[in-house]
Amino acid sequence: MTDRNIPVTEDELHAYVDNELPAERRGDVEAWLASHPDDAARVQSWRTMAEALHARYDSIVDEAVPKRLEIERLVQQPRKWVYGAIAATLAAFIVGGGVGWLARGATAAPSAFQNLTVHAIEAHRLYVVEVRHPVEVPGSERSHLQQWLTKRCGWVVRAPELAGAGLKLVGGRLLPGSGGPASFMMYESASGERFTIYTAKSSAEATQMRFAAEGKESTLFWADDGVVYAVVSTGADRGRLTQVAQAVYDQMEKKS
Amino acid sequence: MLGKAFAPHDSCNSCNLVLMSAFRQSVEAMIPALRRYARALARDADIADDLVQDTLVRALRSERLFLGGDVRSWLYTILTNLNKNRRRSLARRPQFMPLLDNNPDASGTEAEGRDIARALASLVEEQRSVLLLVMLEGLSYREVADIQGVPIGTVMSRLARARAHVKASLEGERTALRRVK
């Protein structure tokens, strides 16, 4: 069928290396390579490239699969799974002081996801000290605030009811986030203790709840449905931060 | 493939259970390869595992919608698309590029490993994806065409350009090194 004299095309060289070439043409290509050293060198360089790729990345296949990727953890309803993971993280956080996650965070390169927490903490620092203008829309206009932020952000923004944790909504504002708008809401207790809730578009669909601290500020943050939530406090103890974050999470859970 | 193999009876609960667990098993069997692909695609180990996690969550959520077909191709498709979305949202903001590639997981393997990672990073997204799916994951041109939603001819031209680019990049680094010596 084929003719030795038909020149071999570059596409055929690729197909030859990738075992995509019809069997009857392989012999022709091999004969061609024997008499065309430039093409033979190119084919060889592609094979070397494939070896380099495997040498660099194949070890990952033999690594133990991280716990968070275990199928048993993921097979339950994703929401339930996230919730269970969060509960576990919170327990570990209260007992172990969140050291596990911090230790891991210290060695890993900062991801876009972690950068969001930096924005959340910065916004918190900037506005909690404001006495006269901490927010753009006051808590007395709760439904307007929710509608406005939802419209501008593009995801459902709810101002959770945190009276159970002794917190009252001060209000909220729209912020520039790292990849688009972000919502910011502030809560206050009778004693003047302030918590803020920051939401922004997340690079991760859903993650476990994680803890991060910088200076006096600490945050519990997680992603759900492509939105990252960060609950930030200044100087609150772990139990208190956990209580507030849990209340926020529970109400996000109910919203859908 | 799965759907046919198990010929599910709609009303039969145990068949559905068998079908579901077979589906899960085939998803589970793919996790190591998905992690390899994601790591080569995204470089950062944390981001790579985030991608795999999102892929698995989506796949498992769609378990009942999955009506047979190739689980492997399907998972690579989800991961490839998620990465494309991620990069698109990253592209909208200014990026700080690391001056040096000191990826802690570089597994210590000789300079060659870093060279290839750097050469990959300089490829445009579609070319990197084609190159990795064919050369690292061993998928056929047809499968890659389906994953990327393009004709086979496009896959072949992307592959050819990617190989030429990586080759030039690797050779460029080597001659640059030689010149320094």
ipTM of predicted assembly, 2 dp: 0.78
Residues of B in contact with A11 (CB under 8 A): 156, 160
> Are A224 and A119 a contacting pair, CB within 8 Å?
no
User: Which DSSP symbol is given to B64?
Assistant: G
Which token pair is B109?
A: 């393997």
Cα–Cα distance between A68 and B37 in angstroms, integer? 18
Opening angle at CA B124, ends B121 and B129, nearest 5: 80
pLDDT at A81: 41
Residue A51 has a CB neighbour count (10 Å cut-off) of 13
- Residue of chain A with shortest Cα separation from B86: A203
User: Which DSSP symbol is given to A251?
Assistant: H
pLDDT at B138: 96
Closest chain B C-alpha to A50 CA, distance in angstroms: 6
pLDDT tens across B22-52, in order? 788 889 999 999 999 999 999 888 889 989 9
Which token pair is B87?
A: 């990069």
Q: Is the pLDDT of residue A103 over 60?
A: no
Average pLDDT across chain A, whole number: 82
A174 vs B96, higher pLDDT = A174
pTM of the predicted model, to two decimals? 0.54
* Averaged pLDDT, A184-188: 95
pLDDT at B4: 39
The residue among A10, A44, A49, A56 with the most chain B CBs within 10 A of its CB, best to mutate, is A56
User: Which DSSP symbol is given to A8?
Assistant: P
Range with the lowest mean pLDDT among B34-38, B58-62, B170-174?
B170-174
Using the structure block, give the residue that is written with the tokens 């996801």.
Answer: A113
Interface check for A54 against chain B (CB to CB < 8 A): the answer is: yes
Q: Is the pLDDT of residue B145 over 90?
A: yes
Nearest to A220 by CA among A240, A191, A190: A240
Give the alpha-carbon dihedral of A244, A245, A249, A255, to 10 degrees: 50
State percent of chain A over pLDDT 90. Answer: 50
Write phi, then psi, for B138 (nearest 5 degrees): 70, 30
Cα–Cα distance between A176 and A170 in angstroms, integer? 20
Decide if A14 and B40 are in contact by the 8 Å CB cutoff.
no
pLDDT at A187: 95
Q: Is the pLDDT of residue A205 over 90?
A: no
Counting one residue from A and one from B, how many pairs have CB atoms under 8 Å apart?
A: 135
Give me the count of residues in chain B: 181
> Are B76 and B40 a contacting pair, CB within 8 Å?
no
* Averaged pLDDT, B66-74: 77
Cα–Cα distance between A25 and A1 in angstroms, integer? 9
- Window B:93-112, CB contacts with A under 8 Å: 93, 98, 103-104, 107, 109, 112
Q: Is the pLDDT of residue B77 over 50?
A: yes
Specify whether the backbone of A215 is left (phi greater than 0), alpha (psi in -120 to 50) or beta. Answer: left
- Alpha carbon A247 to its chain centroid, in Å, reads 22
Average pLDDT across chain B, whole number: 77
- Residue of chain B with shortest Cα separation from A12: B156
Interface check for A154 against chain B (CB to CB < 8 A): the answer is: no
> Are A55 and B113 a contacting pair, CB within 8 Å?
yes
> Are A118 and A105 a contacting pair, CB within 8 Å?
no
Interface check for B156 against chain A (CB to CB < 8 A): the answer is: yes
Q: Is the pLDDT of residue A110 over 70?
A: no
pLDDT at B43: 83
Amino acid letter at A134?
P
Cα–Cα distance between A182 and A116 in angstroms, integer? 10
Nearest to B139 by CA among B120, B125, B152, B123: B152
- Considering Cα of B63, then B148, then B35, then A180, what sign does the dihedral take? negative
Which of A70-79, A96-105, B19-28, B134-143: highest mean pLDDT?
B134-143
Q: DSSP characters for A158-193?
A: -----GGGTEEEEEEEEEE-SSSEEEEEEEEETT--
